[in-house]
């Protein structure tokens, strides 16, 4: 195994100062112990970690000095809003059999083909019965929304996905139910209800019905039959009472039920809101209760499938707020701050020391998780304005954010429609519009029509059919970058090390496994950039000298001089 030296530090004081400032901002919410942990980790040697015998296991390898190679074996996931995806029965609503019909679009299971996206996992947004179009207010946790099909249809989807090498994770919404859930309807009948204590009633607990929810920013108390129940997001989603052991037991059983059915894991909605302090969103005691519950949940899931993938929605820009959830609770927490950083950097066409900050973030995550975390990276999701709208329909910028996302460590998540550049901005319905399969707005087999498209309509709107065979399309760019990722072990599984080119219009970093490394360089600008790579440009004795991937034919590397063309990416070995 090659010995790898400590990372190269910045060539310019100004560049380094900006990076340190950004890191300080990122870690603003760290408490004293978190800062001490990070500092000690950077300054002190750590003991070597034995390499696992199973090559699929996450590998953390201590090398020369303080340099830690912390591999993150990864899978590209595709987030599906089933209602908007593909309609198998002609009712205008997407369904599970529609997802089955389009699995080959996502991954046909044949690595030699190039006409599928090549993803390795799908995330199904809520598929359980609900009175709402979105499904985040559940009325039956052990069933499937009849609009989408049946439990048997889900079982078939899981089987078909697994045959193609696709994992299936599903949204699990346990913070709250629908107000139409039988539990809540019974609970609202009065204090004698056996489900009364399954929810939080102000009068029963001797509390005043006032305060502010961190979830909605408004008073979470709502009146029902002369009493007030807590519903942090809105009155139709009453919060469950996780101080009640029966509630926790039921939710553990629900998770186990879906794992037994074959689901590969969960995306956990509103993970930081299970317990809430209505006076502040920064209560350490409340945070500790949240984390304790998720550890309890994780341990219960391990009884069924220790390999189940659990990713939590902890909507925080502070990495110090996310890190504690990686300690024997979640495998991943969505990296919201990284998403903002990638989009901002590309819009401004200037590197914002993304890799420098990310490298140090991962040191904190590694410490908190004992080396077990895998990052969950993304650009946007179902709660945010679509990335193409944020980028003002600039296709060059859209391709660059994809190039960065798919060459970073962790599990990248792609929101359906991002691969063709769908537009969308709040309200929520308009960022969850039907995926367009056909040109000219044609309503053909499978096209969902449950909602009229406001952003994605007309002859020029983004659609799959128009982009499938266009070598310059955004869809082709996604397929190419995922193919690179699946082909190059360092992109698929490696960690990250900052690499300074001295050019702020280039974003660059090294991706490393225990056996090798590659240099990734992105030209964020509309101009040709020329730089000289260090004679000792890699780690240790490694010299980057050979281009193995580029999406611009004129990109060249000759005697350490790299010429990289506008809005392009190069991978160098």
DSSP of 221-242, one letter per residue?
A: EEEETTEEEE-SS-TTSPBB-T
186 is annotated as an active-site residue:
no
287 is catalytic: no
Record the pTM.
0.89
> Tens-of-pLDDT digits for all 573 residues of the chain?
222 222 332 223 233 333 334 444 444 433 333 333 333 233 333 323 333 334 344 554 444 334 678 999 999 999 999 999 999 999 999 999 999 999 999 999 999 999 999 999 999 999 999 999 999 999 999 999 999 999 999 999 999 999 999 999 999 999 999 999 999 999 999 999 999 999 999 999 999 999 999 899 999 999 999 999 999 999 999 999 999 999 999 999 999 999 999 999 999 999 999 998 887 777 899 999 999 999 999 999 999 999 999 999 999 989 999 999 999 999 999 999 999 999 999 999 999 999 999 999 999 999 999 999 999 999 999 999 999 999 999 999 999 999 999 999 999 999 999 999 999 999 999 999 999 999 988 899 999 999 999 999 987 899 999 999 999 999 999 999 999 999 999 999 999 999 999 999 999 999 999 999 999 999 999 999 999 997 655 555 678 999 999 999 999 999 999 999 999 999 999
Torsion of CA 440, 117, 374, 508, to 10 degrees: -90
- Catalytic member of 269, 349, 419, 517: 269
- Catalytic-role residue among 67, 87, 313, 480: 313
Q: How far is CA 244 from CA 13, 181, 198, 210, 231, in A?
A: 55, 18, 7, 22, 17
DSSP 38: H
Cis peptide before 427 (omega within 30 of 0): yes
Which of 234, 227, 233 lies closest to 206, judged by CA? 227
Three-class SS state of 340: helix
Q: Token pair for residue 231?
A: 């519903």
Residues 6+ apart with CB under 8 A from 432: 81, 83, 84, 134, 382, 424, 451
Half-sphere exposure of residue 508: CA atoms within 13 angstroms, side-chain side:
25
Q: What is the β-pairing status of strands 561-564 and 506-512? A: unpaired
């Amino acid at each position: 195994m090659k010995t790898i030296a400590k990372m190269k530090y910045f060539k310019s004081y100004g560049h380094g100062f900006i990076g340190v400032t950004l890191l300080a901002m990122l870690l603003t919410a760290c408490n004293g112990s978190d800062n001490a942990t990070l500092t000690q980790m950077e300054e002190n040697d750590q003991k070597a970690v034995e390499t696992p015998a199973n090559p699929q296991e996450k590998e953390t390898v201590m090398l020369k000095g303080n340099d830690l190679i912390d591999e993150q074996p990864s899978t590209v996931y595709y987030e599906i809003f089933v209602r908007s995806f593909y309609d198998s029965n002609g009712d205008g609503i997407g369904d599970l059999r529609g997802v089955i019909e389009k699995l080959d679009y996502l991954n046909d299971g044949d690595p030699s083909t190039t006409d599928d996206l090549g993803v390795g996992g799908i995330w199904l947004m809520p598929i359980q019965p609900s009175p709402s179009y979105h499904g985040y207010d559940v009325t039956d946790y052990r069933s499937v929304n009849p609009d989408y099909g049946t439990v048997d249809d889900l079982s078939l989807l899981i089987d078909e996905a697994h045959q193609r090498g696709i994992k299936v994770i599903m949204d699990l919404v346990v913070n709250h139910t629908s107000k139409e859930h039988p539990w809540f309807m019974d609970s609202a009948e009065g204090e004698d209800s056996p489900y009364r204590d399954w929810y939080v009633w102000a009068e029963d607990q001797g509390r005043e019905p006032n305060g502010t929810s961190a979830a909605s920013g408004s008073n979470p108390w709502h009146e029902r039959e002369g009493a007030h129940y807590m519903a942090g997001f809105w009155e139709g989603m009453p919060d469950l009472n996780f101080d009640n052991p029966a509630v926790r037991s039921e939710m553990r059983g629900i998770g186990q039920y879906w794992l037994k059915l074959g689901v590969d894991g969960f995306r956990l909605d509103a993970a930081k809101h299970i317990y809430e302090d209505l006076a502040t969103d920064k209560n350490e005691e409340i945070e500790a209760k949240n984390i304790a519950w998720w550890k309890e949940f994780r341990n219960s899931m391990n009884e069924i499938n220790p390999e189940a993938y659990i990713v939590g929605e902890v909507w925080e820009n502070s990495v110090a707020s996310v890190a504690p959830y990686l300690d024997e609770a979640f495998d991943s927490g969505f990296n919201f701050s990284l998403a903002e950083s990638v989009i901002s950097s590309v819009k401004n066409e200037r590197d914002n020391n993304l890799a420098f900050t990310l490298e140090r973030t991962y040191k904190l995550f590694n410490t908190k998780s004992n080396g077990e975390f895998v990052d969950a990276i993304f650009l946007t999701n179902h709660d945010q304005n679509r990335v193409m709208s944020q980028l003002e329909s600039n296709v060059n910028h859209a391709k660059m954010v994809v190039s960065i996302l798919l060459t970073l460590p962790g599990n990248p998540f792609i929101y359906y429609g991002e691969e063709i550049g769908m537009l969308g901005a709040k309200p929520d319905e308009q960022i969850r519009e039907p995926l367009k399969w056909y040109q000219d707005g044609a309503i053909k087999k499978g096209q969902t029509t449950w909602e009229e498209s406001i952003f994605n309509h007309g002859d020029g709107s983004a659609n799959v059919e128009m982009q499938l065979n266009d070598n310059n399309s955004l869809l082709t760019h996604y397929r190419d970058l995922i193919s690179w990722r699946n082909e190059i072990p360092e992109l698929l599984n490696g960690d990250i090390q900052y690499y300074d080119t001295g050019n702020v219009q280039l974003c660059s970093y090294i991706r490393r496994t225990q056996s090798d490394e590659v240099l990734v360089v992105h030209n964020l600008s509309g101009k040709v950039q020329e730089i000289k790579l260090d004679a000792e440009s890699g780690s240790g004795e490694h010299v980057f000298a050979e281009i193995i991937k580029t999406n611009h034919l004129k990109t060249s590397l000759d005697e350490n001089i790299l010429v990289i063309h506008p809005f392009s990416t190069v991978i160098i070995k």
